[in-house]
Amino acid sequence: MKWWLHVGLLCIPLLAVYLHIPPPQLSPVLNTWHSSGHFFTFRGNNIFYKESVGVVGSSDVLLLLHGFPTSSYDWYKIWDSLTQRFNRVIALDFLGFGFSDKPRLHRYSIFEQASVVEALVAHLGLSEQRINILSHDYGDTVALELLYRNDHNRSGHITINSLCLSNGGIFPETHYPRFVQKVLKDSGFISPVLTRLINFQLFSRGIRDVFGPYTQPTEAEFWDMWTGIRFNDGNLVIDSILQYINQRLKHRERWVGALTSTSTPLHMIYGPLDPVNPHPEFIQLYQKLVQRSTVSVLDEHVSHYPQLEDPTGFFNAYLSFINSF
């Protein structure tokens, strides 16, 4: 038997073991987040959400929409501050993310995620309430679909009181996905194999690049992000979720059109060191197209995750916007 055949036969069981590495255990802080949340059912899938009742005497409701590939836990650094301003603060894990179900062989779409959000608002009995939305990255595009439905008075739509976006690739022409994202979304039948080969080292190396050099997460924070992805085998559906990049291009007119035509109060909080939506290209286009919106550009060292990299600056920028109308 040839030597390379021996090596191949030896590698098969090793690869099999590697591909079935169990997900990491929840850290104490992630376990606390999980245990303080709730679930509701959307089309047979369990959706995780967390809700806090804050300021007494206020009826203001805030809905938080997270980015890719992370979860509602992205908001933990500003959660307590937000509960001191709003009566109800709500965050969910989109289908396929965080602690929510992650069905395989599923066609994930921005449209469905918007319907998940509408179903959550109805589940909480808030359909008649005016909702403030604060979103990030992937959540920005879900927010734009919700804005489109609101402005076109679609059945079951959320009534949006205000919308604040942050570092989302809402313009395909100024959006630069990471190399791994491009490979996974366009590799067809090879993608399921590639998703199994992603491990913590590859993940942390990739996501490290979208944080500023002086605003890097700790090793424990990287592990919490990775744990959220591995929960319910979420790494195996990343390629399907990544089709949102193609959806942004296909439906650009619908979503950018909603942004440019709405009368809803708008704000953009922007970390300018973002390699995915680079400065000044992204923010100049935003200000050109969305002239009704106000903009907060954070410190020059802040990158793609501004709410994690500069929580104080991010919160203050949002507070200034929300108190301005």
- Give the DSSP letter string of 181-229: HHHHHT-GGGHHHHHHH--HHHHHHHHHTTS-TTSPPPHHHHHHHHHHH
Alpha helices in 89-215 (DSSP H): 110-123, 138-151, 179-185, 191-197, 200-208
In-domain check, residue 17? no
- Each residue's pLDDT tens digit, 136-169: 999 999 999 999 999 999 999 999 999 999 999 9
- Each residue's pLDDT tens digit, 254-264: 999 999 999 99
What whole-number distance in Å separates Cα of residue 120 and Cα of residue 258?
Answer: 22
- Each residue's pLDDT tens digit, 51-71: 998 777 778 999 999 999 999
pLDDT at 9: 47
Overall number of domains in the chain: 1
What whole-number distance in Å separates Cα of residue 301 and Cα of residue 224?
Answer: 23
Token readout for 214 is 């002086």
List, in sequence order, every residue forming a beta bridge with 270; answer none if it has no partner.
297
Q: Residue 102: give its domain's CATH number.
A: 3.40.50.1820
pLDDT at 153: 94
pLDDT at 15: 53
Residue 7 pLDDT greater than 70, yes or no: no
What whole-number distance in Å separates Cα of residue 240 and Cα of residue 228?
Answer: 17
User: Looking at per-residue confidence, does 22 or 302 come out higher?
Assistant: 302
pLDDT at 57: 74
Residue matched to tokens 């590495």: 21
Which residue in 141, 174, 144 sits closest to 277, CA to CA?
A: 174
Examine residue 275 and say whether the peptide bond preceding it is cis (omega within 30 degrees of 0).
no
The answer to whether the beta carbons of residues 242 and 181 sit under 8 Å apart is yes
What whole-number distance in Å separates Cα of residue 95 and Cα of residue 193?
Answer: 22
Q: Which domain holds residue 182?
A: 27-323
- Each residue's pLDDT tens digit, 244-294: 999 999 999 999 999 999 999 999 999 999 999 999 999 999 999 999 999
Q: What is the mean pLDDT of residues 62-82?
A: 98
Token readout for 81 is 């501050």
In-domain check, residue 14? no
Residue 5 pLDDT greater than 60, yes or no: no
pLDDT at 20: 62
pLDDT at 289: 98
In-domain check, residue 7? no
In-domain check, residue 114? yes
The answer to whether the beta carbons of residues 114 and 146 sit under 8 Å apart is yes
In-domain check, residue 2? no
Q: 313 φ, ψ to 5°?
A: -60, -40
What whole-number distance in Å separates Cα of residue 315 and Cα of residue 271?
Answer: 13
In-domain check, residue 11? no
Instruction: Say what the pTM is.
Output: 0.94
Which residue in 208, 172, 167, 209 sits closest to 297, CA to CA?
A: 167
Average pLDDT score over the chain: 93
The one-letter amino acid at 317: A
Residue 313 pLDDT greater than 80, yes or no: yes
